[in-house]
Amino acid sequence: MPGAGRWTRPSLSEERIIRWANAYRERHGRWPNQKSGVVDEAPDERWANVAQSLRLGYRGLRSGQSLHGLLLARTNKKKEALESRLTPSHVIRWARAYFKRHGRWPSSQSGTVEGGRITWGGINQSLKKGHRGLTGGQTLSEFLSVCCGKAPRVKRGRLTISQILKWARQHHSRTGHWPMKRSGRVQGVADESWKAIDSALRHGYRGFPGGSSLAQLLLVNVGRVHRLAQRRLTETQIVGWARSHKARTGKWPARRSGRIAVVGNESWQALDRALRKGHRGLRGGESLASLLLRAVGHVPQAKKVRLNNALILEWADEHHRRTREWPACTTGAILGQTNETWRAIDLAMRGGGRGLKPGYSLARLLAEHRGVFTKVRPDTELLTVRQILAWADAHHRHTGQWPRPNSGRLDSPPFTTWGAIDWGLRAGRYDAPPRTSLLRILQKHRGVSVDIPWHGTLRESEILEWVDDFHSRTGAWPSVRSGRVNQRPELTWSAINSALNVGSHGLAGKSSLPRLLLKHRGVRSKGYAPRLSAPEILQWARDHHRRTGKWPASKSGSIATAPGETWAAVDGALIGGLRGLPGGSSLAGLLDAIRGSRGNRRKRALTLNEVILWVKAHRRRMGEWPDCYSGRVLDTRGETWFEIEEALQQARRSLPKSSLKQLAKGMRKPRPLVIHGRRRAVRKSPA
């Protein structure tokens, strides 16, 4: 029987609607309308559905009514409307009080009138349309200019189509693009913007009849086609263009095949987007690849094969046998392999794609297994301090100066740069002491100072005196961008920060200017966050509990006993493993595990079948699949679709990693594909 399983909404009565409206009035201070959202007493109902049922006579109600008319007839809304009638003297008195208090006349954007029940925007609408006993036909600005002596607003001059086209052509010659309403101000014209021009064309201001727009004006006069005016497409037309592309290039088009040769302003990427979104007359939910599979039987290119070190070394040996050179990430395509490049191989090794472990590189693989350096950064552990010192001695013999990180390329293999070597030393990539640098190695093993072109001695007490003087003069604390030191013009604050970091000029090293300020002056820099520890966080939590009587949460604000710290930042560091913490925890988890405190009540664990039942129930009742903005979950207590989506995406509450969109996609009925006259059903993807 058709419609046997369809869910129907329960019947309504006028008394129930009046009861809901009175509760809404008590809660929000105003009467509901069809845009008031969900009915609080009935989460399955919306005020828009109630208004529609009253208007059309659905669900046991008589037709021909409106929500506004029902409330006027059955509640105190009409009496309140009569009591809220206005007179010009009311508006004048409120406007003068506003001018006396703020020094300017009110506008429609000035918020509420004194008393809080009426807004200046509402008064402006009443003056325009003649509501609340006012005559109508004028705006708030015009009323105040007549009755209160407010200076009238200067109206903008009239425009012509030829003037707008002249400005548009100048904009196109300067930028290469035709203007849109979001293009900002008109270049070379004072107090004129493209948004104001578009509004005048739409609404009939400044000498125009209205009903047009900037995009339509450019479409008619200069042929600039905007998105909404693009011609409609058909699948037969797209397949024909694809066949032409195949006959011309020898292969079927893909999303990234660029522009369509047989059409002017069209691209394959735009067609793919229109197929997916359902734009330009297409049904949507498809792609260019699936359309070609259904229409001509073209199977897209398979995914690239999985890689391993032996296969990459085999390709590298073949490349060396043919070219007498070892490949690098900039070499280009791999000889004998289709759609494979050395850059893609290097990126896969670094990121851990295609079956490889992350944190590796092509250069490191060749250095370890073939004993060669490529013409890139030597990021292999085989590079030692002795080798770096040998290159530095050769550089000193050749130039008379010791190398710096900005000294450019080496004159001998591996033809890398001193900046790359310095970066590798700082990152701990070589066989060298941790947290070292090129400057520290030269200072330790060659006794030279190449970091700061000044050979004096610095003391922390002296630097702190300069810091206090800087603060007394400027009211701020110095940073690496504060320029030169006032007492020593040959020094900069950046050089002092480098000396504190490297340990030159008599300083201990392994410090910095922000750390010095934090240690001796208690000033925390924006870019420097000190390391944290679990005992320190627990001590802050005990102090917070002793002072407030409850344990802290991530929304508890700043930490009173640690200036510059917030509980949100501490919670983020515990979750992400920042600032010396192991990660994988949270503030609530730390307090529950160690102190035994109970924060906010945790949500119970869920099952995937339970969520799927809620999704299906929402689909049956509302006629659409839920998303994170669908509000509360029906027939549950304290559950919202936003929390369900967050739990699915983060694999929390015992749920697998997924999303509401994927669950809905798995529950949709498969659409058949037609290949060479045969129908083949698409297999459902697992939820």
For 441-454, how does the pLDDT look when each residue is reduced to its tens digit (9 = 90+)? 888 888 775 444 45
Confidence tier at 425 by pLDDT (50, 70, 90): confident
Tokens at 625, concatenated: 């699949």
- Judged against a pLDDT cut of 80, whether residue 274 lies above it is answered with yes
Please tell me the predicted confidence (pLDDT) of residue 420: 79
Taking the C-alpha atoms of residue 47 and residue 53, their distance in angstroms, rounded to an integer, is: 10
Please tell me the predicted confidence (pLDDT) of residue 583: 67
List pLDDT tens digits, range 84-137: 678 888 888 888 888 888 888 888 878 778 666 678 888 888 888 887 778 777
Confidence tier at 302 by pLDDT (50, 70, 90): low
Which spans in 250-299 are helix H? 268-277, 288-295
Taking the C-alpha atoms of residue 670 and residue 685, their distance in angstroms, rounded to an integer, is: 10
The count of other CB atoms within 10 Å of the CB of residue 656 is: 8
List pLDDT tens digits, range 253-266: 888 788 887 776 67
Tokens at 516, concatenated: 């010095």
The count of other CB atoms within 10 Å of the CB of residue 482 is: 17
Highest mean pLDDT among 16-25, 252-261, 264-273, 505-514: 16-25
Please tell me the predicted confidence (pLDDT) of residue 290: 81
Question: Quick check: 628 and 648 in contact, CB under 8 A?
Answer: no
Confidence tier at 622 by pLDDT (50, 70, 90): confident
User: Which DSSP category does 529 fall into?
Assistant: -
DSSP letters, 116-177, are: SS-BHHHHHHHHHHT-TT---SS-HHHHHHHHS-PPPPPPPPP--HHHHHHHHHHHHHHHSS
Looking up tokens 């009742």 gives 621
Taking the C-alpha atoms of residue 622 and residue 397, their distance in angstroms, rounded to an integer, is: 81
Q: Angle CA(118)–CA(123)–CA(129) in degrees, nearest 5? A: 135
The residues facing 581 across adjacent strands are none
Taking the C-alpha atoms of residue 342 and residue 362, their distance in angstroms, rounded to an integer, is: 8
Which spans in 522-555 are helix H? 534-548
User: Which DSSP category does 592 fall into?
Assistant: I
List pLDDT tens digits, range 640-685: 787 888 788 878 888 888 888 888 888 775 544 444 444 444 444 4
- Judged against a pLDDT cut of 70, whether residue 415 lies above it is answered with no
Instruction: Give 575 or 356, the one with higher predicted confidence.
Output: 356
Task: Please compute the mean of the pLDDT values over residues 507-535 and round it to a whole number.
Answer: 79
Tokens at 386, concatenated: 């002795």
Instruction: Give 681 or 567, the one with higher predicted confidence.
Output: 567
Q: For residue 404, give Cα distances in angstroms to 203, 433, 443, 490, 513.
A: 65, 19, 12, 20, 22
Number of helices followed by number of strands (H, E) in the chain: 28, 4
CA dihedral 111, 115, 116, 118 (to 10 degrees): -70
Instruction: Give 523 or 382, the one with higher predicted confidence.
Output: 523
Instruction: Give 604 or 307, the one with higher predicted confidence.
Output: 307
Residues 6+ apart with CB under 8 A from 284: 275, 276, 277, 278
Taking the C-alpha atoms of residue 618 and residue 583, their distance in angstroms, rounded to an integer, is: 37
- Which amino acid makes up residue 462? E
For the chain, the maximum distance between any two Cα atoms, rounded to a whole number of angstroms, is: 101
In total, the chain counts a number of residues equal to: 687
Sequence spans of domains, the chain: 14-81, 84-147, 161-228, 230-295, 309-369, 385-446, 460-521, 534-595, 608-667
Summary mean pLDDT of the chain = 78
* 414 cis-preceded (ω within 30 degrees of 0): yes
DSSP letters, 645-681, are: HHHHHTT-TTPPS--HHHHHHHHSPPPPEEETTEEEP
Instruction: Give 6 or 21, the one with higher predicted confidence.
Output: 21
Taking the C-alpha atoms of residue 279 and residue 288, their distance in angstroms, rounded to an integer, is: 13
Task: Please compute the mean of the pLDDT values over residues 315-322 and round it to a whole number.
Answer: 88
User: Where is average pLDDT lowest: 129-138, 146-155, 342-351, 650-659?
Assistant: 146-155
Looking up tokens 């896969």 gives 348
Q: For residue 66, give Cα distances in angstroms to 26, 31, 47.
A: 21, 14, 11
How many CA atoms, within 13 angstroms, populate the side-chain half-sphere of residue 164?
27
Confidence tier at 686 by pLDDT (50, 70, 90): very low
Task: Please compute the mean of the pLDDT values over residues 582-603 and round it to a whole number.
Answer: 62
Supply the angle between the helices 418-426 and 438-446 in degrees, to the nearest 10.
90
Q: For residue 670, give Cα distances in angstroms to 113, 460, 616.
A: 58, 73, 16
99: nearest Cα among 137, 147, 133, 132 = 147
Q: For residue 257, give Cα distances in angstroms to 31, 410, 445, 653.
A: 57, 41, 57, 43
Instruction: Give 225 or 138, the one with higher predicted confidence.
Output: 138
Instruction: Give 156 or 566, the one with higher predicted confidence.
Output: 566
Using a 10 angstrom Cβ sphere, with 0-12 exposed, 13-18 middle and 19 or more buried, the burial of residue 499 is: buried
Question: Quick check: 76 and 25 in contact, CB under 8 A?
Answer: no
